[in-house]
Structure 1
Amino acid sequence: MRFVWLAVVAVVLLIFGFAVATVGQAEPSIVVTVHSDGTVTVAVRALVEPGLNELPAPVEAIPATIEAMIDNVEVPAIYHNGSIYIASDSSATATVTYIANVTMSDGILEFYINYSGVYELHIEPGIVTLTLPENILGADIVNDTLVLLVSGPAEVRYVIVPAEESTGGEAAGTASQPAETSETQQPSEQPTPTREEEESSTLLWVAVVVAAAAVAAAILVLARRGGSSEGGSSSPTMVSAVLDDTDKLILKRLQEAGGSMLQSELQRATGLPKTTLWRHVRRLAELGYVRIEKEGKANRVILVKELEDAEAP
């Protein structure tokens, strides 16, 4: 019950325009992740003070997916005018996560990062970026994920590459293995590169990979458009390639239920976490398989295209 009155206080303060506490002296830690399935999640970690705190939402949020934690305890959150507000009764560490709103046109996905500070942009395998932020402070590859340290706003446009294409060569970010050295061949001694040289080499490598990937993505998008212009719809093989097992499970449960379920019912039927379910439902809606309708305070998910349609040869 401790946070019930805090939520009420937060609403009252927002309505009547009272002062909002800052999020501490240190700049918030922000990570924006583009996942392999095309969805984008945002994680904001910051110090909060007693009272109502305003945290940045660097990418437009889907309000229903916002989850706020203060010292590992879930608390209410309010999304208003591009910011997230949470109330705290003490100085503590808060973490806010949510799924970002991504638009899609002609197979190209796009979102905008509206934040002037420094943040991390993570791009998982299977994603080919068509644009990248201009002010990149650093770059690295961690567990096959491209990690960029960025400063300032940025527009990110990208496409999803099917698994069989994303693993096809170096343009997808896969480094080739060096040839084995002959026993009689002695490696020549090379001077140890400085930290500045290593960082410059990493940025150059990332730029080359991104440029090659952009060319491959452009060819892929043109191929998709060419296929859709002939028959009026995208190729069934290309569409089914972007559906994973979780997508198919959701479609199957909807089909078994007669084609319509509340989001809470669908979550119980699939056993998926709320955030995971919503991320996949949003993607299925963007791909035209389901439709989301508001029903009071709940969401109803309606099947538009059955699973057999997605798997048809």
Structure 2
Amino acid sequence: MRLMAVALAILLLAMLPAARAQATCYSSRASIDVAGDLSLWAAYNVTRAPALIALPATSPVAYQAVENGTTPLPVSYNGTDLEVAVDEPGIVNVSYLTLQATSKAGDLWQAQLYMPCEGWLVMPPGSAPVQVSPIPIQVSYTDSSPELLLPEGQVSVDYMLSPITTTPAPVTTTSSTPTTTVTRHPASSEYYMVAAAAVVIAAVAAFLGLRAARGSKEGEAAGPENALDDRDRAILDALARRGGEATASDLMKDTGIPKTPMYRRLSKLESMGYIDEYMKGGVKVYRCRRPGCR
């Protein structure tokens, strides 16, 4: 019955486009981890139904929508937006995870995302924003993670991750010879500005070289069989044992591979032509494109 109600809601929305304005985003929050994976959450207040929520997203590998904190809603991805049809007024939370919102060239990372309304972007621990567009409304820090309060709209953030440093163990000496302790002061701000500029220039050059290399290989077939490692083959074997199709949860259960690494490898296998994905009963399913997933 609920699916019929949702279908009716979508039909009514087609006839009453003004109903879309009755779903208003009032809170959002995004975070990027050290691996570059982006997760985003947004809360919408639906004052009149039927309503259609459209949340811009880039190739989400997992997503969900929940109404009033308990009721799951059907959600689909049309290639640019996550669409949620709502047939009753209430508070709707929409969230997703994507592995393709960030890219890296040399030491420079770049993140592209859309904030559905004013909200916070939590950067990776130890990161240093180099350029942010638009200019943040507010900047704060929690431990070593920068937090940027951003307006609604498209956001671009260039940042670098600080290298991991270690403190050498103290050296104990029994020599009677007097010793002199030398204190090394941090480099000046001018030094860091020059170093950062050099890193950015090198990153841009590396990025252009990478684009040229990718362009020269355009049209070539997917990587060879030996590009797969043991975990990739374990995923393909699990798919084959399940008759050639399974959800990510099924594959995590069969292989023991955690959630984020599993979605990375599924994306890799799809790009290499081993598997593809489709929606089945509102759930994303992965299936073999080659007999026996080989």
Normalised by the size of structure 1, how large is the TM-score? 0.56
Which residue is equivalent to 2:6? 7
**Number of residue pairs matched?**
243
Which residue identity lines up with residue 122 of structure 2 in the other structure? H
Offset of residue 155 of structure 1:
4.1
Offset of residue 51 of structure 1:
1.7
In structure 2, list runs of 5 or more residues that go unmatched. 167-188, 218-228
In structure 1, list runs of 5 or more residues that go unmatched. 170-204, 234-247, 304-313
Which residue is equivalent to 1:181? none
Which residue identity lines up with residue 264 of structure 2 in the other structure? H
Q: Structure 1 residues 46, 125: closer, same or farther in 2, change over 3 A?
A: same
RMSD: 4.8
> Helix, strand or coil for the counterpart of 1:65?
strand
Structure-to-structure mapping, 1:39-78, within 5 angstroms = 39-57=37-55, 59-62=56-59, 65-70=62-67, 71-78=69-76
Greater fraction of residues in strand: 2
Checking the alignment, whether the CA contact within 8 Å between 2:5 and 2:87 is kept in structure 1 is: yes
Offset of residue 282 of structure 1:
5.9
Distance 1:295 1:51 in 2: 29
Q: Aligned pair 1:167/2:150, yes or no?
A: no
Deviation string 1:154-184 (CA, Å, 9 cap, x unpaired) is 44255785xxx63239xxxxxxxxxxxxxxx
Checking the alignment, whether the CA contact within 8 Å between 1:6 and 1:88 is kept in structure 2 is: yes
Distance 1:157 1:24 in 2: 28
Which residue is equivalent to 2:27? 29
Q: Aligned pair 1:293/2:287, yes or no?
A: no
Deviation string 1:202-232 (CA, Å, 9 cap, x unpaired) is xxx9xx99997675465467679889999x9
Structure-to-structure mapping, 1:107-186, within 5 angstroms = 110=110, 112-115=112-115, 117-125=117-125, 129=129, 131-156=131-156, 158=158, 166-168=163-165
Moved more, 139-148 or 118-127: 118-127
Which residue identity lines up with residue 299 of structure 1 in the other structure? Y
Which residue is equivalent to 2:19? 20
Offset of residue 153 of structure 1:
3.2
Checking the alignment, whether the CA contact within 8 Å between 1:132 and 1:155 is kept in structure 2 is: yes
> Helix, strand or coil for the counterpart of 1:166?
coil
Normalised by the size of structure 2, how large is the TM-score? 0.59
Greater fraction of residues in helix: 1
Distance 1:210 1:83 in 2: 40
Offset of residue 76 of structure 1:
1.1
Flag the structure with larger Rg: 2
Q: Structure 1 residues 291, 214: closer, same or farther in 2, change over 3 A?
A: farther
Which of 92, 95, 98 pairs up with 2:93? 95
Distance 2:26 2:157 in 1: 25
Which residue identity lines up with residue 140 of structure 1 in the other structure? S
Deviation string 1:27-49 (CA, Å, 9 cap, x unpaired) is 52111222222121211112223
Which residue identity lines up with residue 84 of structure 1 in the other structure? E
Which of 255, 264, 268 pairs up with 1:280? 264
> Helix, strand or coil for the counterpart of 2:11?
helix
Q: Structure 1 residues 256, 24: closer, same or farther in 2, change over 3 A?
A: closer
Checking the alignment, whether the CA contact within 8 Å between 2:58 and 2:101 is kept in structure 1 is: no
Which of 252, 274, 277 pairs up with 1:267? 252
